[in-house]
Structure 1
Amino acid sequence: MATRPMRIDKAINIHDVRDCARRYLPRIAFDFIDGGVDGEAALARNRAAFDRWKLLPRYLVDVSDRSQTVTLFGHEYSSPFGVSPMGIAGFFRPGADLMLARAAAKFDLPYLMSSASCDSIEAAMDAAPKTTWFQIYGTRNPEITADLIRRARALDVRVLILTIDTPVMAKRERNLRNGFTRPMKMTPGVILQGLSRPAWTMRYLQSSGIPMMENWRPYAGENANAGTVADLYGTETPAPEQTWEVLKSVRKAWPGPLVVKGVMHPDDARRCRDLGADGLIVSNHGGRQLDSAPGSLDMLPLVADAVGDGMELLIDSGFRRGSDIAKALCLGAKATLFGRPAMFGVAAGGQAGAEKVFDIYRQELSLVMGMMGWTDLSAAGRESLFDLANPPGFTTPARSRAAE
């Protein structure tokens, strides 16, 4: 007997949210979000990195009141997590970028808008001016990068993110198998997938098909259509010729907090610090770039040791539980980010779906804090972790005479 699809408001964890999206989206769309590169070893490695560490609880602490607030670049947020930059969200649900922005604002969380989004940074700042950050790439035409920075400055965007881990486009095999390429061809298989997901297909057709990448529309000339703008973006990014000079120029042009995303090597982390970056996002791009790269969490403590207290560290890739967030905080991150769960939520349930994802993480983290004996996030540290590979030696005090 077939089971009825779960409604997203009934989801109790992020795996349920993913399943809701899988049942709503055609395979070509679901696989674009869910997939990695090559054999997808990096996807598995991101999750395996969390299994290495166990949380070591302390009891007999009054945890009646627990605060998740965190200060990032001088601004307080209600929880130590937010939304990673994600391109073309509007393909999965029209208006998804602004739904994510509004949901993040409602929960007082940072929303890192991608320059490859479908809605514009101007619209996002109008919807959520206090919690929206902006992510850019170095482009083949430096004038486009400079103008994106100019627009962000004019809008008083709080934080700018420069992503550096995409010098070339990786081999995303699920996309190649499904035909998710430019130009996209309506093969019989793709049409059949659409017919099997009528609710998504109807929204797609009502929104005129391929969505416009609004942040890039100004650079494609007058009367450019969505396909022309997408082709321009594909021509300008990735930019394999970019070097550290790109970071220097962005730092010179941007007066506010600057975060570099995609840092994995401790030496690169130190160089970002020395060139004036204020923060880093330790990330292997969610396992979507180099399949042989280590898990992001594996590198976090090494990067944290390399830069010391001089930078604010964030991390993404593979976060699916509140306990995952707690482990990253113990290893030196001030906050964590996630992409796929937020995209699954907004695709399957719109803004309410995104809010459901945020609520799941917040509740799970609160429970973990209670069980760990944490009343606030300052309690998170490496002493709260147990490394299965290198267990610590605990000193056992001699028994007292009374015990004997």
Structure 2
Amino acid sequence: MSDHEAHCQALTTTDTHDPAQVQVAGRQLAIAAQLGMDIERDRLVTILKQASRRSVVDYLSTVPVLDRELIERFENCWSWSSLAGNQALPWSAQLIERFEDRLYCPALSKNPALPWSVELIERFEDRWFWGPLSENPALPWSVELIEHFGGRWDWDALSANPALPWSLELLERFEDRWSWVGDCYNAGPGLNDNGGLPWSFELIERYKHRLSGFGWIALSDNEALPWSLELIERYEDNWAWEGGMILPGRSWDGLSSNKALPWTLALIERFERRLSWRDLSRNEGLPWSLELIERFEERWDWQRLSANKALPWSQDLLKRFPGRFTLYELASNAAVPWTLDMIERYEDSWHWSTLSMNTALPWSAELIKHYEDRWCWLGLSSNEGLPWSLDLLEYFEEHWDWKSLSRNKALSLPELRPAEIADIMAHHVSKPDFINRMTAGDLNGIDWME
């Protein structure tokens, strides 16, 4: 037990029947807690000062306590694409205008945290990236907004946006502008991919002429349709039963991969000759059981089955089908009952980059240390299953990727104060050459991110 923990424990033994003592103890506990937080912040500051400038600036550009003054102070140093996507900044039209040229990137148009309004969109109409803007779910979507900027929208992206106020009336109003089947040549989605539409027999029947050809391919993937045996049978010859690729970069999954179908053994048997067993093998929507696996043992694609998290995974299942499952795919599967023995047994066969991202391993500092030279540290940095702590960060401080750490939702770090962020940034720009040229306003040729 640390001195800090022992002190807190001693404080809690106060006689709780004396109100005055309880009040004093409460104040002491608050002070102790604050001291603990100060210590944690100091440790984090030290770690960030020792990390690379590139990693640190990526991380600090995403923290929630940046204000205009701090941004201005290190204006030439931030990762502006990261700042543009930072949802915690005090966004306003004035802030955007102050750094308008710096913020000119797609990330700003994607950011749902901006104070979106018709006025804001109009104010910077010529600066937005209209493709990402058309995908943004946070805009105040309405028929009026769509009409107001009708000539600006990326209608492929707009057609795939589930946040629009979808209705049969909206579909009719812009029927000739929608991308009904997506942009197959640029891997763009369309209405047929969109889960936000009020899908029904009526809608499909009404616009089936729009969905011909490629339209039915993506529609077969769409989990938002009112799937039933009746729907499947009604358009049996239209569905894309098997996944594939139209062109490089434009693929589809097919009906056999669609988790939303009312899967039963009877349904599988009913369409056994239509279904793609390769795609069925990775479908997590099937009623998986040992009996189902045994029933079609010779039909499954065992490589894809190995990555399927919905199987009833157990050591018994692995032993029941020796030699069937593939280690490359197993490495990505968080549903497998991972053990230290299993990791060690196949040490030379694992795909360690994939294994590094698996949240379900029996993670510990000892496990990480044991295979320190095997891990992909970029993958580890984004892995939410690790036992995250400042101790862990300090122990392997030379390995972490701070840009990935900044996006790791499981990493609960002390919230740095503006003064501490300024101290860290100043530390990383303290080289004499950088300071002299920054003072002279000559930043050409400096790669501050090195």
What is the TM-score with the length of structure 1 in the denominator? 0.25
Bigger Rg over Cα: 2
Higher strand share: 1
- What TM-score do you get using the length of structure 2 for normalisation? 0.23
